[in-house]
Amino acid sequence: MTAEPAPLDVTLRALADANRRAILSVVRDEPRAVGEIAEAMAMSQQAVSHHLRVLRGAGLVSETREGTRHLFAVRSDGVDVVRQFLDDFWPSRLAALKAAAEQAARDHA
Amino acid sequence: MPDVTATVDIEAPPEIVFDHLVTPKGMLAWMGDHAELDARPGGQFAVNIEGTPVRGEYLEVDPPRLVVVSWGVLGNELLPAGSSRVEFRLTPIAIGTRVDLTHIGLPDVEQPKHAAGWAHFLPQLARAALSRC
């Protein structure tokens, strides 16, 4: 609809990958380091790092430092974007209903 | 999450708006790409919205004033078929029809502890959203 990618678009694209959804499940209860996530996922650290970059870019995980370790955790702001989508769903549908019913009324006339 | 409400004023008589809620042809003119509808209490309400199989039943059908359906997504743990409820109230107004919509019983997607739940729910939303862009 809009020229520039909406935040939701980025968020949903990030979530379109099953591995990234699984990573979110791994870090949802407590922050974890890349190595821990890789072990839980049975994936290479390189692959996990790539997915974490995408998730972080979408605002779905946050990164903090604890000494030399980088810890990743679920970030709730990303979830708020989804909530916003749910709030927008019906207004956009009703706009479509309005267009369709008004067209039908004109066709009847 | 809290109930979702939305309102729209339509320049068409309630009878025409009502048709868009109870007939496959009318429904598909504004929502979904496949619909199987049996618009009587207990009758099937099945609409595929850009890859998302929305499933429920008509709960109340009062032409041309009220349609209530149960609403969920087939195979979805967070919002199972028929698990929430959508009410369409049609009121005659000077220019045509006011539609007041209320969607109640939606799952809570805000809490991080539900992350697994919404991660499961989102791909279906993603398909719906992305295909509209």
Percent of chain A with pLDDT over 90: 43
- Per the CB < 8 A criterion, the answer to whether B99 and B88 are in contact is yes
CB pairs under 8 A between A and B: 116
Whole-angstrom distance, CA of residue B118 vs CA of residue A14 = 13
pLDDT of residue B129: 45
Beta-carbon separation of B30 and A99 below 8 A: yes
Question: Is the model's pLDDT at B50 over the cut of 80?
Answer: no
Whole-angstrom distance, CA of residue B112 vs CA of residue A4 = 28
Minimum mean pLDDT range among A5-14, A26-35, A36-45, A69-78: A5-14
Q: How far is B75 from chain A (nearest CA, A)?
A: 16
Whole-angstrom distance, CA of residue A67 vs CA of residue A69 = 6
Whole-angstrom distance, CA of residue B22 vs CA of residue B67 = 8
Q: Which residue of A has its CA nearest to B4?
A: A87
Question: Is the model's pLDDT at A93 over the cut of 50?
Answer: yes
Q: How far is B10 from chain A (nearest CA, A)?
A: 5
Contact status of B93 with chain A (Cβ, < 8 Å): no
Burial of B42 (0-12, 13-18, 19+ CB in 10 A): exposed
- Residues in chain A with CB shorter than 8 Å from the CB of B12 are 101-102, 104-105
Beta-carbon separation of A83 and B110 below 8 A: yes
Orientation of helix A7-15 relative to helix A45-57, angle to 10°:
160
Whole-angstrom distance, CA of residue B21 vs CA of residue B99 = 11
- Answering whether pTM is above 0.90, one says no
| pLDDT tens-digit series, residues B99-111 | 999 988 876 554 4
Q: How far is B68 from chain A (nearest CA, A)?
A: 15
